Chains A and B, each alone.
Chain A
C-alpha cells in the first residue's frame, strides 16, 4: 500500500511540475469547441443558440476521454520508450498489476480534472444559450466517475498495444476518430438515417459517455437509456482494463 501511494505521489509530483502545460493541454480543446460552436457560430447566425445544449454533454465527454487517454498513453510511451524509465518502478516491491492500477488511477484523476474544467468554461462562454437542469446529481457523479475510469482504461489499452514510437500516429488514427464518431457533437439518435454507422459506433465508449451526460444534463434531447449507458461504460471498463493489463504485463517482462 505504501508502495502504491509512492507511485501515485511520483506521478502527481511530475504532473504538478508541468501544471501550466497540463491545464493548457486539457482546457484548449473544450475551450475552442465551446467558443466556436457555442459563441461564434450562434452569434454569426450559423447554428441555433440551442445547439449549446446539445454541445455541452458532448464536450464534457470528449474532454474527459481525451484527458484520460493522454494522461495514460503518453506517459506510457515515455515509460516503455527507448530507455525504459519505468524499470525502477517495476522493481518496486509490488505486483505489476498494481503498477497498472496506479496508471489507471492517474488517468482517471486527470479525466475528472478535465471534466471539472468544462463546466466553468461552458458557463462563462455559453451561459446565455444554455438551459441545463441537472436531473440527478447522484447520476451525474456516477457517470463522471465511470467515464473517468473508462477513459483511463482506453488509454492503457491503446498505450500498451501500440509501439511507443507510434503514439502520435495513434492520435490521428484512433483518438480523433473516436472523438468525432463518439456522438459528441450530435446525438446518437440523429444518426438514424445512417443506420450502419449508428450500430458500428456502439463499440466506441465515447458514445456512452456523451449520451450518458446528455441524459442527465439535457434530458430533453433524445438519448440512449441510462441503464444501457451504465452497462456500456462498465463493459468498456472491464474489457479495456483487462486488455490494458495484459498488454502492460506483456511489455513489462521479457
Chain B
C-alpha cells in the first residue's frame, strides 16, 4: 500500500491569549491524506481549519501530537517548507513587487534556476490568465486575480502538496467557478491538494475525500458519497398537497422502496415526505392521480453535506 503523503497524529493546538485565557483551537485530530487526491477540510468559521493548515505548514506552533509531510515531521521546518506551498485565506502578495516579480522572487527563494523559473512564470501566468498584467503592481488587484496569482506563485517551486485555505471565500460566483476549474486541472496533472472551505457545495464538487471539522474536532471523514449515506433517511421526495386521503398514503406506501411516509402539516398545505430519488417520481405521480389528490407541488430533496452537518451537530454550517 502507498504511504500517505500527509499523516496527522493527535494534533493539538492551544492558543494562550494571556495567562488565564486559552483557546482550544484543535483538539487532538488524526487523519491521513493520499498522494494525488483533493482532500477537503469542511467546517464552519472557527472550526480550526486555518489552525490545522497553519500547523501543517510550520506557521503555527504545535501544542502536542505530530504531523508528517511525506514522512518528514512538521517540526523539521525547513525540510517541510521545501515540499509544500500555501495559498492563505488573506491576500499576502508582496505589494512592493510586480505580478511577475512576485513569481520570480518566490522561485528564487526556493533556488529554482533562472531559465526554469522564467519559463515556469510564463506558463503559470498564461494558465491563470494574468499574462497581460504581468508588469502591474499587485496593489490594485481584485480578489479573484490575487487568488489566482497566489496559486501561480505557490506552484513556482513545484510543491508536493498544495494547501488552499478558503481559496474561494469572498469571490464572485464566476471567479469561484474559474478557481474550481483550475484546482481540477492541477489535480488532473497529479497535484495533491489539501483545501479548507465552509462551502459544502465546494467540498462536494471538488474533493475526493472530506473531513468534517467542528470545534477543533473531526466529526466524520470519507468520500462525499459515503458521507451523504450517513444521513438517516437519505434522499427524499416531498409531495405538497391541499389535503390527504388514506388511499393516497396507502398507495404511496405500497410503492417499491418507499418505506415509511411522513406527514407534516403546514398552515395552507400538507407535505408528505417519501424516501427515494428522482426514479420514483413517476410512480408517485401515478398514485397521486389515482387517489385524485390535489397536488400543489413536488420537490426532490437530495441529501447534502449540510444535512450531514446538521445531523452531526444540530447546527447549520453557516448561521
Contact = CB atoms under 8 A, between A and B. Distances in A.
B311 interface: no
Nearest to A89: B109
A231 interface: no
A88 B77 CA distance: 14
A3 B91 contact: no
A24 to B, nearest CB: 18
Interface string A49-63: 000000000000000
A39 B109 CA distance: 48
Interface string B237-279: 0000000000000000000000000000000000000000000
Interface string A82-122: 01110111111111100000000000000000000000000
Interface stretch (B93-101, B126-134, B282-290): B93-101
- Interface range on chain A (Cβ under 8 Å from partner): 20 to 34
Contact of B106 (A13, A88, A90): A88
A83 B91 contact: yes
Nearest to A96: B77
A90 B92 CA distance: 11
Contacts of A88: 92-94, 102, 106, 109, 153
A82 B111 CA distance: 29
A87 to B, nearest CB: 4
Given A6-B108, A6-B109, A94 B78 contact: yes
Interface in A1-48: 2-3, 6-7, 9-10, 13-14, 17
- Give 6 nearest A-B pairs by CB, closest first: A92-B109, A6-B108, A2-B111, A87-B92, A14-B96, A93-B82
Interface of A: 2-3, 6-7, 9-10, 13-14, 17, 83-85, 87-96, 252-254
Interface of B: 15, 54, 57-61, 77-79, 81-82, 85-86, 88, 90-97, 101-102, 105-106, 108-111, 153
8 contacts: A17-B96, A83-B92, A83-B95, A87-B88, A88-B94, A252-B59, A254-B15, A254-B59
